[in-house]
Amino acid sequence: MPPSPAPQPYELKVFETGRVETRPDNLHDWFNALCWLAFPRTKARMNAMHAAEIPREGGKRGRLRDLLTIFDEGGAVVLCSNPELVCLLTAGRWRELFWARRAQVQDEMRIRVLGHAVLEQALSPRPGITCKVVFGPFDADPDEVAEAWLTQAPAGASPRDLAPLPVFGYPGWTPGQSAMLYEDERFFRPQQPGKSQLQGK
Helix (H) or strand (E) holding 164: strand 163-165
Strand segments (E) across 75-154: 75-80, 109-113, 131-136
Which amino acid makes up residue 19?
R
State the pTM of this model.
Answer: 0.88
Tell me the average confidence (pLDDT) per consecutive run of 10 residues in the chain, 201 residues long.
58 91 91 97 96 81 89 98 97 96 97 96 86 97 98 86 93 88 88 51 40
Residues 108, 120: Cα–Cα separation, whole Å:
26
Is residue 6 within 8 A of residue 54, CB to CB? The reply is no
Comparing CA positions, the residue from 87, 50, 54, 55 lying closest to residue 70 is 50
Residues 87, 90: Cα–Cα separation, whole Å:
5
Main-chain phi, psi angles of 112, to 5 degrees: -115, 110
Which amino acid makes up residue 162?
L
Q: How high is the pLDDT of residue 192?
A: 64
Q: How high is the pLDDT of residue 86?
A: 97
Q: How high is the pLDDT of residue 196?
A: 43
